[in-house]
Structure 1
Amino acid sequence: MNTEDMTRRIATGEGFIAALDQSGGSTPKALTGYGVADGSWSGEDEMFALIHAMRERIIESPCFGNGKVVGAILFEKTMDGTAGGKPVPERLKERGIVPFLKVDKGLEDEANGVQLMKPMPDLENLLARARAKGVFGTKMRSVIKANDPVGITQVVRQQFAEGARILAAGLVPILEPEYDIKAADRAEGEKVLLNAILEGLDALPEGQQVMLKLSIPVEANLYKPLIEHPAVLRVVALSGGYSTDEACEKLGQNQGMIASFSRGLLQDLRHYQSDEEFDSTLGKAIDQIHLASVR
């Protein structure tokens, strides 16, 4: 797939984006969820080898390439690794899956009810490597924990500022201002977030497009103006801690929003499953998330 093919696949593909981008801080939890006992690895290299083996098993599963997964978000080490004997981005594209790269370096401490992204001084070098490997776009995450208009504005402006760097490098950014699903004031705060994002979209130069990854809103179809905005290639939803059933039920109420789940995709996979059991379990999750995305 060339850039034009990948743009079309993301814009119109009937499917969802798999989030396979657990990084250093979240990898131990992901491995525990996969049934690997805590302490089964000695050092960071062994830990990342274990998580990469899980990701390669997912990528090579027959059901992962059945057309229902239109994209996959990768951690940097996964991008640099191989699957099926080929570089991961190349292998994904062979399977009809558009590769994205997580580029943020984690979160700052909370202030004004939000956690901004840490600085990314080496972003341009990382983007150049990603583009050389055939990556289509990026993803970066901030977190909103309270309806503080000052904090929400800071989060959105930072996302668009970093997004401008990514667009300048020839990649498509997924802006992810996640709203904590446990926040008591989320319903009102999401309306503040919506207006802040619309302001950022309206300020983009003509012809530029970004993607958005957002928590499934409390008010169904709240983000319809974003889905319909000409500067938005696609709006995707994070599972945010919901179970697969909960996330799919809520997503199905939001027309035009597709999934980009991590926990919702991986929660029932275990390293000790036979290939048949693994593929069956993954296939059921893919079918369920795909249905919620196209409903």
Structure 2
Amino acid sequence: MAEPTIASIVTTLLSPGKGLLAADESFPSIAKRFQPLGIPSTEETRCAYREMLFTAPEVNEFISGVILFDETIRQRMQGGIPVPELLHQLGIVPGIKVDTGTVPLANFPGEKITQGLDGLRERLSEYRQLGARFTKWRAVIAIGEDTPTRTALETNARVLALFAALSQEAGLVPIVEPEVLMDGSHTIERCEEVEGATLQSVFDALCDQRVVLEHMILKTGMVLSGKECPQQADVAEVAERTLRCFRRFVPAAVPGIVFLSGGQSDIAATERLNAICQTSGAPWKITFSYGRALQAPALERWKGSADNVAAAQASLHHRAKCNGLAVLGKYSPEMERVKPA
């Protein structure tokens, strides 16, 4: 069987009615999710949890790719099968988070830069040998009274661009993720302004770095009111402003945009995705790359017990199906009344 090309991997990831499962939580992040449910965060529990997610019956009908963490891509499921091989057998493309997290940006209080470029070329080669076919790198942009600064935008954009270029050099599809955080009391108008400035900086840097836009995917957030903003925009306004912002700043050469959930509730993330995808005429394919918005109900039902695996998988399948239909603009709130078994 011929090795898939970088172009064919992009096409598979953007298959109609499918999206990505972000299962790339770092050790502190997954421990934070386990702790309220009394689940210890050990290598064994993390492996069992992700096996529960990946082996959910028929979830591959709605999931085209999974973003893995460094630990997970090296693990084996029951029966000794490596995680990337299991996903390949299910028709799901394995990917890998390659950044190593954020740190404060020197001399710019409240702003951050993402680390992980040191040794990245060598790590990318190893990840490809382990079975990864795409990569992801996240930058975070905070909205405040005096932020983001031009320096923070441009510095993060240059790092994202270098990551993308190195990924393509290794034959991997880069998912470029500039996340404008929901935290704060900013208005949706302010979010649209910052999202636009962020995307402009990112694509300027990508072009300067000679990244092939046709061989990458953009992962970013919707244009939303800040979490603490007293005036919360409705679904229709979110869709209108998000698409307007993308049309202004995302080149048509980019094959697809995948949304992060970024702290939205699972149902709100689905409703907004559906509204965006119901608008025709976008030059890119649009889908989802959700972590918590797909996993939260399943994790709550699993609770670390093998006895709860089937119920947890039913919850994951339900959320994946709802979002898969939202990508097609065919989701309806009535679907939430059908509770998973």
Category of TM-score, reference length = shorter chain: 0.7 to 0.9
Corresponding residue for 1:48? 43
Report the counterpart of residue 73 of structure 2 in structure 1: 79
Task: Output aligned runs, 1:1-295, within 5 Å.
Answer: 2-4=3-5, 5-32=8-35, 35-37=37-39, 40=40, 47-65=42-60, 67-84=61-78, 85-110=80-105, 111=108, 114-146=111-143, 147-183=148-184, 184=186, 185-203=190-208, 205=210, 207=212, 209-218=215-224, 219-221=241-243, 222-224=245-247, 229-230=252-253, 232-255=254-277, 256-269=285-298, 270=302, 271-272=304-305, 274-295=308-329
Distance 1:156 1:112, change over 3 A: farther
CA distance in 2 between counterparts of 1:48 and 1:215 reads 31
Q: Can you list the C-alpha shifts for 1:236-258, whole angstroms capped at 9, x where unaligned?
A: 11110111011112222323421
What amino acid is aligned across from residue 244 of structure 1 in structure 2? Answer: D
**Match for residue 44 of structure 1?**
none
Distance 1:124 1:207, change over 3 A: closer
The residue type paired with residue 78 of structure 1 is T
**What is the rounded CA distance, in whole Å, between the counterparts of 1:19 and 1:174 in structure 2?**
12
CA contact (8 A) 1:63 1:282 kept: no
Deviations 1:31-67 (A, max 9, x none): 236x334xx35xxxxx2321111001111111323x2
- Structure 1 residue ranges (4+ consecutive) displaced by more than 4 angstroms after TM superposition: 225-228
| Paired residues, number | 285
Structure 1 residue 204: Cα displacement: 5.3
Q: Mark the structure with the bigger radius of gyration.
A: 2
Give yes or no for contact 1:59–1:83 (8 Å, CA) kept in 2. Answer: no
Q: Gapped runs of 5+ residues in structure 2?
A: 225-240, 278-284, 330-341
Q: Deviation digits for residues 258-282 of structure 1, max 9, x if unmatched?
A: 1111100111122335333122211
Point out where structure 1 has 5 or more consecutive residues left out of the alignment: 42-46
- What TM-score do you get using the length of structure 1 for normalisation? 0.88
1:207 shift after superposition: 4.7
CA distance in 2, matches of 1:220, 1:155: 21
